[in-house]
Amino acid sequence: MPAPTFELQDVTYRYEHAVALDGLNLAIPSGRRMTLLGPNGSGKSTLLRMLDGLCFPQIGIVLFRGEPLTSERFSNEPFSFRFRQQTGFVFQNPDVQLFSATVFDEVAFGPLQLRWPKEQIRRKVEESLDQMEIAHLRSRTPQYLSMGEKKRVALASVLVLDPETLLLDEPTAGLDPRSESRMIDFLARCGHGSKTVVIATHDLDIVEDISDFCCIFQNGRVLAEGTPPAILGNTSLLEQANLLHSHLHTHSSGEAHAHPHLHRHQH
C-alpha cells in the first residue's frame, strides 16, 4: 500500500447545530482515486475543505505527507506556497471560484500568483485550455458560460498548476450528458497513479469509472470502505447509507415487489 497523501486521526468538526465529522480516522493513499459516498450532511464536503486547508479539526489531526495541516502551518509562506501548488480543489459550485474577466485570465491567475515567467504562463494556460476543450472560450467572461463550461474552466484553473493531488466536490452535478461524459473521461485518465484524487459524489453510476477505492460516509464517520465492485454490490449497505431506495412496483400479474433503485439527489 502506498504511503498516504492524507491521514486523519480522530478528527472531529462541529458546526453550530450539527456534527460534520465525528472522530474520523481515514488514510488516503498516494496515487489512488478515492470516492466519498454519502447523503447530504454526511461530512463529505467538510472533509474536502479540511484536506484543502480551508478549515481545521477542532479535535484530532490531519496530516499531509506526514506534516500536520494547521492554521499555524499555513501562516508559514513557504509551506502554504508549496501546498497550494501541490493541491487543487474544485468546488461543487464553480461560481465560488470564478472571478476573472476572461477564461484566459482565470486560468492564468494561479501561475501569476506563483510568479511564473510570462512565456511559461502563456504556454501552460493554452495547454490547460486544450486539455479541457475550452480553448474557444479563452476570451469569454466565465460568469456567462454554461454550468458545464464553468466547471471545465474551474478545473483548468486548477490543472494549470499540475497539482499532485486533486479534490473535487460533486464534479458531475448539474452537467448536461456531454459535459458529464467529458468530466468522467478526464477522471478516468487520472487512474494510472499519476495523481491522488479525492471525489465526493452522489452518482453511483460513475463510481467504477472514476475511482479505485470508495468510502461511504454516514453522520461524519466512515460506514464502510472497499473497492467499487465490493461497495456497489452490497445493496443492503447502500440502502443503509441512504444511497439506494426501494420502491414498490406492481406487476401485470398483480404481484407487488420492492426493488432497490439509485437514489438521485437533486442539486
pLDDT of res. 267: 34
Half-sphere exposure of residue 209: CA atoms within 13 angstroms, side-chain side = 15
pLDDT of res. 187: 87
Is a pLDDT exceeding 60 seen at residue 264?
no
pLDDT of res. 246: 52
pLDDT of res. 41: 82
Q: What angle do CA 244, 246, 249 make, to 5 degrees?
A: 145
Per the model's pLDDT, the better-predicted residue between 123 and 179 turns out to be 123
Joined grid coordinates for residue 141: 467572461
pLDDT of res. 194: 77
Task: Report the distance separating Cα 203 and Cα 200, nearest Å.
Answer: 9
Q: Considering the entire predicted model, what is its pTM?
A: 0.87
Strands 33-37, 213-218: parallel, antiparallel or unpaired by DSSP? parallel
What would you report as the CA-atom Rg of the chain, rounded to the nearest whole angstrom?
A: 20
**What is the percentage of the chain residues whose pLDDT exceeds 90?**
65
Give me the phi and psi of 110, to 5 degrees please: -60, -50
174: which residues sit within 8 A by CB, 6+ positions away?
A: 147, 267
What are the helix and strand counts (H, E) for the chain?
A: 10, 12
Residue of 23, 20, 31 lying closest to 65 (CA atoms): 31
All domains of the chain in start order, with CATH: 4-92+164-241 (3.40.50.300)
Residue of 109, 105, 175, 178 lying closest to 146 (CA atoms): 175
Q: At how many degrees (to 10) do helices 147-159 and 118-131 cross?
A: 140
> Which residues are bridge partners to 34 per DSSP?
198, 213
List, edge to edge, every strand of the sheet that includes 33-37: 87-90, 165-169, 196-201, 33-37, 213-218, 221-226
What average pLDDT does range 25-46 have in this prediction? 91
pLDDT tens string 204-249: 989 999 999 999 998 899 999 999 999 999 999 999 888 875 544 4
Whether the Cβ atoms of residue 50 and residue 11 lie closer than 8 Å to each other: yes
pLDDT tens string 154-174: 999 999 999 999 999 999 888
Split at pLDDT 50, 70, 90, the class of 192 is: confident
